Amino acid sequence: MADITLFGDPIRTWGELPEIGTTAPGFTLVTNDLETVSLSDFKGVNLIINIFPSIDTSTCALSVRRFNEKGADLENTKILCVSRDLPFAQGRFCAAEGLENVVTLSDYRNDNFGENYGVMINGSKLSGLHSRAIVVIDENGIVKYTEQVAELKDEPDYDKALAALN
């Protein structure tokens, strides 16, 4: 359980982010084309997972844009933007914004990402959505860096996340 805040009010998540140095937990998520993908589909690739409550809120949208800007320069690295938005909402956003360097994935179907990565919000009006967090996984599937953003409306630390792979 992690204690975070929403506009200063305390809220909680169900669990903790995976520990640095451990093998990243598995997941199954849904693409904009309604296909399922698993962690094992990204084997051999570095992953920056940008996790947030909803793409239809401003900070989340900003984080997707910011990572999209940075994503083009990264070698052997994919940026996954993960939320419980429906795939159609994620697809609409990325198409409207012309974002091609990020992959948006939805955890709407069975919440296994939210549970395995400890990011499901519990006991607040945002319960059932993901907290704002970053998890960086190297090409061997090992967790290299995590950030649980302490205040949900704040942006994550983009530079630290990007530097974690150097």
Partner 1 sequence: MANITLGGNPITTIGELPAIGTKAPDFTLVKGDLSKASLAEFKGSRLVMNIFPSIDTGTCATSVRKFNEKAASLENTKVLCISRDTPFAMNRFCGAEGLADVMTLSDHKDGSFGRSYGLIITSGPLEGFLSRSVIVLDAEGNITYTEQVPDIKDEPDYEAALNSLENN
Q: How far apart are CA 50 and CA 91, in angstroms?
A: 16
What is the smallest separation between the CB atom of 88 and partner 1, expressed in angstroms?
4
60 is catalytic: yes
The continuous run of DSSP H or E covering 33 comes out as none
**22 is a site residue for partner 1 (CB under 8 A):** no
Q: Which is closer to partner 1, CB of 70 or CB of 109? A: 109
- According to CB under 8 A, which one of 91, 118, 141, 156 is a site residue for partner 1? 91
Determine contact, residues 31/103, Cβ cutoff 8 Å: yes
What's the min distance (Å) between Cβ of 128 and partner 1?
Answer: 3
Q: Which tokens sit at 110?
A: 């069975």
CB atoms within 10 A of CB 100: 11
Judged by CB under 8 A, does residue 57 bind partner 1?
Answer: yes
Contact between 51 and 119 under an 8 Å Cβ cutoff? The reply is: yes
Candidates 39-47, 54-62, 131-139, 144-152 — which segment interacts with partner 1 by CB under 8 A?
Answer: 54-62
Any idea how long the chain is? Answer: 166
| Active-site residue, from 4, 17, 60, 103 | 60
Distances (CA, A) of 90 to 82, 147, 164: 9, 23, 26
> CA-CA distance, 124 to 127, in Å (whole number)?
5
Q: Which stretch binds partner 1 (CB under 8 A): 10-18, 74-82, 83-91, 154-162?
A: 83-91
Q: Give the nearest distance from C-beta 157 to partner 1 in angstroms.
A: 24
Binding residues for partner 1, per CB under 8 A?
A: 34-35, 54-57, 84-89, 91-92, 108-110, 125-129
Just list the catalytic residues: 60
